[in-house]
Amino acid sequence: MPEQLVALQNESHHMASCNFPNRKQPVVLQTRKAIDSPINRLPFEIIVTIFFHAICHPSPFSHYTSWGTRRVQLERDPEDAFFSVTLGAVCSSWRNVVLSTPKLWTYFEYPQSVWKRKRDCRYLLALYLQNSRHLPISISLTFIGNVDDTLLWHPSFDRALISNLKRIHSLSLQNPSPRWVSQIKDIPFIVNLSIDWESGWPHTKERLPLHRCHALVCLSLHRASAAPTSDVRRIIYQIPSSLTILDLSFIPIDTCIKAMLRCPNLVEAYIHSHQADDYHTPDYLRENWFAEPVVFSHLKVFLWDWLHNDSDWAEVFFEHLQTPSLCMLVLVASFDGQLQELSSGERRFIDQLPQTLRTRSFNKLRTSTLIA
C-alpha cells in the first residue's frame, strides 16, 4: 500500500510539472484518494470481518407460523447475490482481500431474480468453489422453466460441482432436476437441507437417500399444493434419526407423522397444511406404529397446521403423543376458513400439556373445544 501511494504521488507531481491538461490526472487523484481513504488504513483482519458480515449468509431455520409467512422470509434482495464478486470489483486492495480470504466465498446463492438478467451467471459457482478452497460451503440454487433431468446445474460446471459435493454443509434447492435426488447420497456431511418443489413433484422413481446423511440436522421439504401425491412416501421415508428440526409442507398427514416417528430427537417440528392420508392403511398396520406412547423428550417447538379431515393417523398420533419439554405450541386449522372442532386425541394432548409450555396459539379453532 505505501509503495502504491508513493508511485501515485510521483505521477501526480510529474503531471503537475508538465503544466498542461492531462486526462489521466483525475483518475490518478481518485485512485490516490481511494488508497488513502480511512477504510484502507484498517488492518487486514478488520476489513475481512466487515466484509464477512456484509455478505449475505444462509438464513437459519426460523419459526414459520404459516406457509405465507415462510414465502416472504425466503425472498432475497437480488443485490445480495454474488456480493463477494462485487466487493472485489471496487478496487485492487479490496480484490486482494477478497481473493485471499476463502471464508468470503463459502456461500453461493443463485436466486430467481438472477435468471432475469441478460447474462448467464451460472459460471460464478465454479469461481466460488475454487476460491473457497477446502472450507465447508453452503449452496442455494433456484431453477426455472424446463430443467434438464440429466444436469445438476450446467453442463460446463457439473464436474466441478460433483467433485465438491462432500464439502457441502448446507443445501437449498428450488425446483431442482431429478438428478439431484440421486446425488444426495454423495453429500455425506450435509447438515441443513431444504428442497422446494413449487412447480410439482419431480417425475422420478428414485428414493431420496437421506438415511446416508448421518450429519443431517435440519430438513425442510415442501411441494406444490396441487402436485400429485404419488412418490411422496418414497422420498420422505428415507430420513436419518439425527434430525432435530423437521419442516414439511403440503405432504400427506400419514407421511408427516411417519417422518416424525423416525426422528426421536426432534427439537423443532413444523408441519404445514398437510393433505389427507396418502392411502388407506388397515387399522392393525397403523397400530403397529403406535405400540407404545410416542414421546419426544426434546421437542420444544411444535407447529401443526393441518387440513382437518378426520385423519385416522392424526387421531391415533395425538392419542399417543407426549412432549414433556414443549415450550411453544401452535395449532392451526386450515379448512375453508371455517372454525374447526378438535378431535378427542387432540383434546387429550392439549389437556396434558407440560408446565414447561410458555407460548401457545390456536388459530381457526372453536374456543369451546379448548376449554378443559
Q: What's the pLDDT score for residue 239? A: 85
Q: What's the pLDDT score for residue 368? A: 46
Q: Is residue 19 domain-shared with residue 64, that is, in the same domain?
A: no
Convert the pLDDT of each residue in 299-314 to its tens digit: 999 998 876 556 788 8
Last residue of a domain, one of 250, 279, 308: 279
Q: What grid cell was written down for 364?
A: 381457526
Nearest by Cα to 57 from 124, 105, 101, 97? 105
Q: Which residue has the higher pLDDT, 297 or 277?
A: 297
Q: Which residue has the cell 387421531?
A: 315
Secondary element (H or E) of residue 219:
strand 218-223
Last residue of a domain, one of 279, 294, 316: 279
Percentage of the chain surpassing pLDDT 70?
69
Looking at the 3D structure of the chain, how many domains does it have? 2
pLDDT of residue 231 exceeding 80, the answer is no
Secondary element (H or E) of residue 172:
strand 168-174
Residue 341 has a CB neighbour count (10 Å cut-off) of 13
Hey, what's the torsion of the CAs at 76, 78, 82, 84, to 10 degrees?
-80
Range of the domain at 96: 42-279
Q: How far apart are CA 325 and CA 335, in angstroms?
A: 29
* 28-48 mean pLDDT: 73
Q: Is residue 229 domain-shared with residue 141, that is, in the same domain?
A: yes
Is there a domain that residue 84 lies in?
yes
Is there a domain that residue 330 lies in?
no
Is there a domain that residue 137 lies in?
yes
Q: Is residue 62 domain-shared with residue 30, that is, in the same domain?
A: no
Is there a domain that residue 351 lies in?
no
Q: Is residue 230 domain-shared with residue 83, that is, in the same domain?
A: yes
Burial 156-195 (b: 16+ CB within 10 A, else e): ebbeebeebbebbbbbbbbbbbebbbebbbebeebbbbbb
Q: Is residue 162 domain-shared with residue 262, that is, in the same domain?
A: yes
Q: Is residue 32 domain-shared with residue 114, that is, in the same domain?
A: no
Q: Which residue has the higher pLDDT, 73 or 148?
A: 148
| Residue 63 banded pLDDT, cuts 50, 70, 90 | very low
Q: How far apart are CA 184 and CA 171, in angstroms?
A: 10
Q: Is residue 155 domain-shared with residue 179, that is, in the same domain?
A: yes
Convert the pLDDT of each residue in 175-188 to its tens digit: 888 889 888 888 99
Is there a domain that residue 218 lies in?
yes
CA end-to-end span of the chain, whole Å?
A: 73
Q: Is residue 87 domain-shared with residue 4, that is, in the same domain?
A: no
Given a contact cutoff of 8 angstroms between Cβ atoms, the answer to whether 132 and 126 are in contact is: no
Q: Compute the Cα dihedral for 84, 89, 93, 99 and give only its sign.
A: positive
Convert the pLDDT of each residue in 129-186 to its tens digit: 999 999 999 999 999 888 788 899 999 999 999 999 999 999 999 888 888 988 888 8
Q: Is residue 148 domain-shared with residue 177, that is, in the same domain?
A: yes
Helix, strand, coil percentages for the chain (3-state, nearest 5): 40, 15, 45
What one-character DSSP code corresponds to residue 338? -
Q: What's the pLDDT score for residue 203? A: 56
Last residue of a domain, one of 279, 306, 325: 279
Q: What's the pLDDT score for residue 196? A: 87
Q: Is residue 122 domain-shared with residue 248, that is, in the same domain?
A: yes
Convert the pLDDT of each residue in 85-118 to its tens digit: 989 988 888 899 999 999 999 999 998 888 877 7
What one-character DSSP code corresponds to residue 100? T
Q: How far apart are CA 367 and CA 334, in angstroms?
A: 16
Task: State the average pLDDT for the chain.
Answer: 79
pLDDT of residue 9 exceeding 50, the answer is yes
Q: How far apart are CA 359 and CA 278, in angstroms?
A: 32
pLDDT of residue 127 exceeding 90, the answer is yes
* 216-244 mean pLDDT: 71
Q: Which residue has the higher pLDDT, 54 or 76?
A: 54
Q: Is residue 23 domain-shared with residue 106, that is, in the same domain?
A: no
> Whole-model pTM?
0.81
pLDDT of residue 83 exceeding 70, the answer is yes
Given a contact cutoff of 8 angstroms between Cβ atoms, the answer to whether 317 and 345 are in contact is: yes
Is there a domain that residue 317 lies in?
no
pLDDT of residue 274 exceeding 70, the answer is no
Given a contact cutoff of 8 angstroms between Cβ atoms, the answer to whether 102 and 132 are in contact is: yes
Q: How far apart are CA 127 and CA 51, in angstroms?
A: 18
Q: Is residue 186 domain-shared with residue 275, that is, in the same domain?
A: yes
